[in-house]
């Protein structure tokens, strides 16, 4: 015998899906993090966003998170996320959403646009959970940064302590934490 559907649970799922859409999540994230049908999510996406969802595959490479500016932004987000998961009883997706909001607020204080999208933030947490990426202490500043799992922390220097030669050439220059 099938369990009867709970109106309250369905309401929570819709609320979560709306929050994810408002934060810019792709449809694949909604499908993974809610129990709503694809058709329902599609209708909800169009209603909330006012357009059809983006098509195509989600980014799968870990390489993006290791390049200079994305690494700084990803590391900021992941530090916030890990702190929230340690001090609260939030479900993973709720911690991701809250950490993403806090990350976005911190970036806007610096008059910058977020480089990290919610979908990439979600994917980053999945990569960390699957040991495809990890966090490593910088041997100079002691901060925690997203790295490959086998990075030697004894010799690791983050992109803030040892920026690449091209750093500072753009108008944004990485902006966060450098001023």
Task: Tell me the pLDDT tens digit for each residue of 10-31.
Answer: 999 999 999 999 999 999 999 9
Q: Is the pLDDT of residue 1 over 90?
A: no
Contact present, 151 and 134 (Cβ < 8 Å): yes
Question: Tens digit of pLDDT for each residue in 51-71?
Answer: 999 888 877 789 999 999 999
* CB-based burial label for 102 (10 Å; 0-12, 13-18, 19+): middle
| Same domain as 72, residue 41 | no
Computed over its alpha carbons, how large is the radius of gyration of the chain? 18
With a CB cutoff of 8 Å and minimum separation 6, the contacts of 104 are: 114
Let me know if residue 133 belongs to a domain. yes
Let me know if residue 1 belongs to a domain. no
Q: Checking phi first, is residue 168 left (phi over 0); if not, alpha (psi -120 to 50) or beta?
A: left
- Specify the 3-state DSSP secondary structure of 146: strand
- Report the pLDDT value the prediction gives residue 177, as an integer from 0 to 100: 44
For 27, the domain range is: 7-49
| Same domain as 98, residue 23 | no
| Same domain as 138, residue 67 | yes
Let me know if residue 58 belongs to a domain. no
| Same domain as 98, residue 71 | yes
| Same domain as 68, residue 44 | no
Contact present, 136 and 144 (Cβ < 8 Å): yes
For 3-153, strand residue ranges (E) read: 134-137, 144-147
Let me know if residue 171 belongs to a domain. no
Let me know if residue 154 belongs to a domain. no
Q: How many domains does the chain have?
A: 2
Q: How confident is the model at residue 141 (pLDDT cuts 50, 70, 90)?
A: very high
Let me know if residue 91 belongs to a domain. yes
Let me know if residue 121 belongs to a domain. yes
């Amino acid at each position: 015998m099938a369990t009867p559907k709970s109106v309250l649970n369905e309401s929570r799922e819709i609320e979560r899906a709306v929050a994810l859409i408002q934060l810019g999540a792709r449809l694949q994230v909604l499908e993974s993090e809610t129990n709503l049908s694809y058709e329902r999510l599609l209708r909800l996406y169009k209603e909330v966003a006012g357009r059809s969802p983006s098509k195509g595959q989600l980014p799968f490479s870990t390489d993006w998170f290791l390049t200079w500016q994305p690494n700084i932004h990803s590391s900021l987000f992941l530090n916030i996320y890990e702190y929230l998961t340690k001090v609260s009883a939030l479900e993973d997706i709720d911690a991701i959403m809250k950490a993403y909001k806090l990350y976005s607020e911190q970036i806007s204080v610096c008059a910058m646009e977020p480089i990290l999208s919610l979908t990439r933030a979600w994917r980053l947490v999945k990569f960390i959970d699957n040991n495809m990426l990890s966090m490593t202490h910088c041997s100079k500043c002691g901060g925690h940064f997203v790295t490959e799992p086998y990075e030697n922390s004894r010799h690791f220097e983050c992109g803030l302590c040892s920026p690449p030669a091209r750093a500072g050439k753009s108008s944004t220059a990485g902006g966060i934490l450098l001023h």
